[in-house]
Amino acid sequence: MGDELTSAQRIYDQLWSETATVMASGKVRVDPLLRGDTGDPRRGATLVARPDGLVRTEVEAFLREACAICPGQYFYQPSEFHVTVLAVIPGSESWRDQYPRLPVCQRVLEEVLKNCPSFSLKFHGVTASPEAVLVQGFPLDDILAQLRDRLRNALRDQGVGENLDRRYKIAAAHLTVMRFSNPKADWKRLRDFLQAHRETDFGETRFHSLQLIWGDWCASADTVRLMREYQLGS
């Protein structure tokens, strides 16, 4: 458990160190697809964990302040908050090529998750990437890390895992809560606001179920389709 916490903190601290400098220069990476009138064309299948109501309430309060400081960006709604357990089919504009793999992926998830115990995450502090603001999540046990490894191995064994971790290997357990979609912003002010919340406590959730969802890049409520919910053990 200690190694998991230390590893997660190291990832978040490195992100913050790099991104604080980016914000100071105003050179964040804005996602133009989040501003288009035609909607985000990227689609994918993701196994997610949804935080409980207490965590959602605390994060929502934080985002209200962030929105006042940096309006015009893409802010997640409380019903959209999620931890990505695994991007089963990574979101992309070429999703139609990957969609036929979905039935095999679902069979793998069914088999692996039927004996998976529940797990806990503590949400404490915020960090940022050049594209987004994240609420930091910390595993309180090693169940999530073991589950991810089991899923990766099983999907690859079935020949449907070659696109896993295509962008990066998911190791942390954060909530992405804000994405940069408008270049016109006071980035230094946002950086200072985030710095002030680096140690804010957002609560803890024990996850008793996971969801396989199909949706756009941000898993927005108006595109997400729940494909399956998996109950975890005690």
Question: What's the token pair of residue 159?
Answer: 């020949």
186 to 16, 69, 112, 118, 190: CA distances (angstroms)? 17, 8, 46, 41, 6
* Cα-to-chain-centroid distance, residue 68: 23
The CATH classification number of 2-231 equals 3.90.1140.10
Q: CB count, 10 Å around CB of 61?
A: 12
Q: What is the pLDDT of residue 95?
A: 85
For tokens 């604080």, what's the residue?
Answer: 20
Q: What is the pLDDT of residue 195?
A: 98
What ranges do the domains of the chain cover? 2-231
Return averaged pLDDT per consecutive 10 residues of the chain, 234 residues in all. Answer: 72 95 92 79 95 97 97 96 94 86 94 94 97 96 93 88 60 93 94 98 98 95 95 86
* Cα-to-chain-centroid distance, residue 145: 15
Instruction: Give pTM, 2 decimals.
Output: 0.93
Helix (H, G, I), strand (E, B) or coil at 187: helix
Closest of 113, 125, 219 to residue 172, by C-alpha? 125
234 to 25, 70, 116: CA distances (angstroms)? 48, 41, 9
Helix residue ranges, H only, the chain: 2-25, 53-69, 95-98, 102-113, 143-157, 187-196
Q: What is the pLDDT of residue 172?
A: 81
